[in-house]
Structure 1
Amino acid sequence: MVVDSADLKRKRKQDSEIQATVIQEADHPIRPGDIDREALKVLYRLRDAGFSGYLVGGGVRDLYLGKRPKDFDISTNARPGQLRRLFRNSRTIGRRFRLVQVFFHGNRIIEVSTLRSQSEYDIRDTKVLPTNNTFGTLEEDAFRRDLTINSLFYEIEHKTILDYVGGVDDLNDGIVRIVGDPEVRIIRDPVRMLRAVRHAARTGFSIDNRSWQAIVAHRNKLNLCPPSRIRDELLKDLVSGHSRAWADLCIQSGVFSTLFPFYASLLQDNGCGPELYSILDVIDRLHTDSGDGKIYLPEHMLMALLLFPWIERELDLLKREVKGGGYRILLGEIRAALEDVICSRFNIKRSVKEAITTLYVNMPGFQRYRKQKKQPSWLKKKSYFNDCVKSSALIEEARGGTVASSALF
């Protein structure tokens, strides 16, 4: 669903006149006790050292919505060098924009960033490394972020939320909105449209009309993005527990056909749409049932499941005869098909491609054995046997069979 922008609400003043809307503690649901103690330690140490520290991004969004954040990220006016001196149990990562990771017991990591004036992808001359002038103010940091609902700051001293972009209104109204002019922001970094779709799918929010129209108009610009970035974003969506809703929005906007053009005709004639949705429902069940955010399926299995409706129709996979020379013939056809459609498009590693190929080439025989309630003895000796068991069980569930046992995962 798409809603119209509240343009009067969004009308920006001159930069020098913009003031944050301050939401007092009594008017929002976030309490210090909701924040991880490690994040609180970082915030209080920054304060005691004379710096400003803010809980930012998805942590504020999720706490406001009554959810438990996976991560508690912090922004501050302290520079990376100052942070390293303040937190001895830390390291600096990143080349363009440096982050400081603060380490705690139990493998807990809190990422701390210095407030920035612009996004990496809003810098026009990408050959020149940023200097200190990329550090910015709260206001600048808010406007360089992708979505209004991810552009809020929680300030620990007064327990207030600082809002420069109308993010609290959008949280209350259930709207996903790209910060600033969505046309300009998407052209500068097309991956922003994937993030808008992701958060709409995860929250059940609507994408505002201007952002939606920009996504539809510029969806083909995703082809200009580095394949590895697209792959990383895709994997996040597949393990989110909301991949079905994500795919639905991607199909409506045309983004899905841009990412997977080989699926376009199959979706148009409704040939594999229902099966694709069923597979995504199974993936969502698996990741939602975990409750702890654990990722049960590795990259090769996620990609194999996502592409199964297509490869099944392309090669008539499950009906193939794999005895004798049939195995080698099918193996070659699968490798060629994957190379043509996904390996270069998503920068899939050779090892992942081979793992996907192995799952597919063993599916016909494995499915026949499953119907006989047997398992091929020769396959049990293979290192990939368990992956074949899992993928076959999930395909069977998606096709209306027995629900795959959680014990498998």
Structure 2
Amino acid sequence: MIKRLFRKVFGKSRTAKAAGKAHVIPLREHRVARDGISDSAQRVTDGLQAAGFQAYVVGGAVRDLLLGCKPKDFDVATDATPEQVKRVFRRARIIGRRFKLVHVMFGSETIEVSTFRRAMEVDEAETDAHGRILRDNEFGDMEQDAARRDFTANALFYDPATQEIIDYHHGYADIRAKVLRMIGDPEVRFREDPVRMLRAVRLAAKLGMKIDPATAAPIARLKELLRNVPEARLFDEMLKLLLSGHALACIKKLRFKGLHHGLLPMLDVILEQPMGEKFVMLALQNTDDRIAADKPASPAFLFAALLWHEVLATWKTRQAAGERPVAALHAAMDDVLERQRAQLAIPRRYDTVMKELWLLQPRFEQRGGQRPFRLLALPRFRAAYDFLLLRCASGEVDAALGDWWTEFQEADEARRAEMLQPDSGAPKKRRRRKKPSAAVQAELPID
């Protein structure tokens, strides 16, 4: 009771003072109550405020709550330095070299706490020849921190103590209008960080928002700047896009904006092939459906699907040149992955899974003898089977093949025996030469 009274009396004056020029939106208007914030995030903001600091839930969590979505995680922004944050909480650790953050841990949940940052002046920031910012991390105040963020929808601060939202850039109005708008000059901001072009596409698709025309206008002429982005960072953004739960819509928007060229090698070529496009779209829809059903989605499976038709084409070319099927498939996989790495840094830890999925596909054709049983027992069978069903649905292989394997998995032993086909492809057993008897050996001539 005393804590609530303290917040009501003193919290508002603190919020109004901190907000400065911002628009302060009360609970009765935005209707995002404190109980929508995770207990851990509340404990972080309460703890920092009790220690005399400003502290707010910020960014995507506030945006998602306003849109009626459940936030994936909660971030907190504060005027406390990382060292000061660490002194407030027992289980906290400072991370990062370029700009220090603090991870505050409560059980399985980790709250990321950042200190307010400011956008440096053009002559202060370190940039490359294209205007991309290389280093500009400086502490600032809340207003400067809001200005430094990318889109107005991501620049909202929520105070759990007063249940008010602090808005410096009309982000609340943009969210209600479902408009994604860049803070500042879009061309300058895209040059500072070209990945923002991908982020705009991802957020618009994920949130069902329209990209503001002024924000979208420079994308077509600045898309080549993505080639200057470090591969690892580009991969991280692509992974977020593909695992957003709205991958299908994202890819369509990427193609519409012309941003798919060069991100995944030959993706633009694949999308122009009727069978390849259908297969890719089915794979993306399958991933979206799994995420919507709260099932795990494998990045390796998705990348294997995106690159499959390039592997398939290379495999056929090598076989036509006279290479044996298995050797040709191994070589095709290596060729495609090597070309892929030149554009997007897919970590090698995914290679094993991708190759297993590809290598198992020809084995589904073998439905005689013990081969189906051995395939069924493999750890990666289920993922490879799902991959096969995508191939069937796209028309690459006969749907009857997928139906056979669906039934074979569920059938009893008697039915499985009936389903087996003649094992014409099995290698012939070598006949062992019968060892001559001792009597015969005694009559053999000695050299």
TM-aligned CA distance change 1:379 to 1:213, over 3 Å: same
Amino acid paired to 1:389: Y
| Aligned residue pairs, count | 376
Corresponding residue for 1:347? 345
Corresponding residue for 1:192? 196
Corresponding residue for 1:116? 117
Does the 8 A contact of 1:282 with 1:397 survive in 2? Answer: no
Does the 8 A contact of 1:305 with 1:395 survive in 2? Answer: no
Amino acid paired to 2:345: N
Corresponding residue for 1:84? 86
Q: Distance in 2 between matches of 1:162 and 1:94?
A: 28
Which moved further from structure 2: 150-159 or 221-230? 150-159
Q: Distance in 2 between matches of 1:374 and 1:302?
A: 30
Corresponding residue for 2:226? 222
Offset from partner CA, 1:161-195 (integer Å, 9 cap, x none): 11111211110111112221111111111111111
Q: Distance in 1 between matches of 2:78 and 2:265?
A: 43
Corresponding residue for 2:76? 74
TM-aligned CA distance change 1:296 to 1:265, over 3 Å: closer
Instruction: Tell me by how many angstroms 1:390 deviates.
Output: 3.7
- SS of residue paired to 1:161: strand
Instruction: Tell me by how many angstroms 1:296 deviates.
Output: 2.8
Taking only the aligned residue pairs, the percentage that are identical comes to 34
The one of 144, 160, 163 aligned to 2:164: 160
Corresponding residue for 1:330? 329
- SS of residue paired to 1:259: coil
Offset from partner CA, 1:258-302 (integer Å, 9 cap, x none): 313513344346563333222211111111112xxx5331x3212
Instruction: Tell me by how many angstroms 1:349 deviates.
Output: 3.0
Corresponding residue for 2:207? 203
Offset from partner CA, 1:315-356 (integer Å, 9 cap, x none): 459x979xx93201221122112212x123222233423432
Q: Distance in 1 between matches of 2:377 and 2:52?
A: 62
Q: Distance in 2 between matches of 1:41 and 1:393?
A: 47
Does the 8 A contact of 1:53 with 1:156 survive in 2? Answer: no
Corresponding residue for 1:275? 279
Offset from partner CA, 1:89-122 (integer Å, 9 cap, x none): 11111111111111112x1111111111138x99
Corresponding residue for 1:356? 354
Does the 8 A contact of 1:29 with 1:63 survive in 2? Answer: no
Corresponding residue for 1:5? none
Which structure has the bigger radius of gyration?
A: 2
Does the 8 A contact of 2:319 with 2:328 survive in 1? Answer: no
Compute the TM-score of the two structures, normalised by the length of structure 2: 0.76
Amino acid paired to 2:65: L
Q: Where in structure 1 are there 5+ consecutive unaligned residues?
A: 1-16
Corresponding residue for 2:372? 376
TM-aligned CA distance change 1:110 to 1:75, over 3 Å: same
Q: Distance in 2 between matches of 1:373 and 1:178?
A: 62
Amino acid paired to 1:330: L
Instruction: Tell me by how many angstroms 1:72 deviates.
Output: 0.9
Does the 8 A contact of 1:149 with 1:177 survive in 2? Answer: yes
- SS of residue paired to 2:331: helix
Does the 8 A contact of 2:61 with 2:71 survive in 1? Answer: yes
Does the 8 A contact of 1:335 with 1:357 survive in 2? Answer: no
Offset from partner CA, 1:138-159 (integer Å, 9 cap, x none): 1111111111111111122322
TM-aligned CA distance change 1:256 to 1:32, over 3 Å: same
The one of 209, 222, 238 aligned to 1:234: 238
Does the 8 A contact of 1:170 with 1:176 survive in 2? Answer: yes
Amino acid paired to 1:362: L
Q: Distance in 2 between matches of 1:261 and 1:210?
A: 30
TM-aligned CA distance change 1:270 to 1:373, over 3 Å: farther
Which moved further from structure 2: 263-272 or 242-251? 263-272
Q: Distance in 1 between matches of 2:154 and 2:91?
A: 28
Q: Distance in 1 between matches of 2:162 and 2:292?
A: 35
Does the 8 A contact of 2:265 with 2:343 survive in 1? Answer: no
Instruction: Tell me by how many angstroms 1:35 deviates.
Output: 0.8
TM-aligned CA distance change 1:377 to 1:241, over 3 Å: same
Corresponding residue for 1:180? 184
Q: Distance in 1 between matches of 2:233 and 2:24?
A: 35
Corresponding residue for 1:306? 306
Corresponding residue for 2:5? none
TM-aligned CA distance change 1:269 to 1:346, over 3 Å: closer
- SS of residue paired to 2:385: helix
- SS of residue paired to 2:126: coil
Q: Distance in 2 between matches of 1:316 and 1:213?
A: 42
Q: Distance in 2 between matches of 1:29 and 1:206?
A: 23
Which moved further from structure 2: 139-148 or 396-405? 396-405
Does the 8 A contact of 1:25 with 1:159 survive in 2? Answer: yes
TM-aligned CA distance change 1:29 to 1:307, over 3 Å: farther
- SS of residue paired to 1:256: coil
